[in-house]
Chains A and B, each alone.
Chain A
Amino acid sequence: NAGVTQTPKFRILKIGQSMTLQCTQDMNHNYMYWYRQDPGMGLKLIYYSVGAGITDKGEVPNGYNVSRSTTEDFPLRLELAAPSQTSVYFCASRLTGADEQFFGPGTRLTVL
């Protein structure tokens, strides 16, 4: 199993540009999550999904959108990039009934 994979690893955007951060897991996990990690701030939940076709907002959803058309994929979309979205983004997944979340390696995004 590759686990949770994320692409790209790094990206620089200009203000106002859009992009999609990709996340795929091959563990057949129903639950998937998107977090952002700012320096010294821990992990903040952006969006999560309990299964294909179902998504819900987390703590900091503004400026982001998600979709979950398959069990494996959970892309995160930034429509109008802003400097405040400069961060490291982590995708995670878990099995129904389990507590452990498995994390991807992250995407480091800079918005200039």
Chain B
Amino acid sequence: GQQLNQSPQSMFIQEGEDVSMNCTSSSIFNTWLWYKQDPGEGPVLLIALYKAGELTSNGRLTAQFGITRKDSFLNISASIPSDVGIYFCAGKEVQGAQKLVFGQGTRLTINP
């Protein structure tokens, strides 16, 4: 089935650094979602994007829907220890699709 290529797979950073990760697809997506999974928990939605070029923020998080509609980006500014976790991108290929496609995840580790 369709796969989303998410990178990097893991990141080790110092507290206070900015973080960037991205997700690419071989086909056009209609919707992009970014989730965060804390250790031992289920994923929780951070940001949803619906239009090409859209830039949306949620606190220190900013996500963008790529102009080509085949990619999306998530940035975290001034990282703090509670940002640790796995970040997943997810996409919906067509309007009204019943399923999401998920990326492999980016595991973020922060050194205090």
Contact = CB atoms under 8 A, between A and B. Distances in A.
Contacts of B42: 4, 90, 92, 103-106
Interface stretch (A12-20, A40-48, A69-77): A40-48
Given A4-B42, A90-B42, A106-B42, A101 B104 contact: no
Interface residues on A, range: 20 to 34
Contacts of B40: 105-106
B45 A100 contact: yes
Given A99-B31, A103-B44, A41 B104 contact: yes
Contacts, number: 48
Interface in B62-112: 88, 92, 98-100, 102-105
B1 A59 contact: yes
B20 to A, nearest CB: 19
A92 B45 CA distance: 12
Interface string B1-27: 100101001000000000000000000
Contacts of A48: 98-99
Given A40-B9, A103-B43, A103-B44, A31 B31 contact: no
Interface in A32-91: 33, 35, 40-45, 48, 50, 58-59, 90
Interface of B: 1, 4, 6, 9, 31, 33, 40-45, 48, 88, 92, 98-100, 102-105
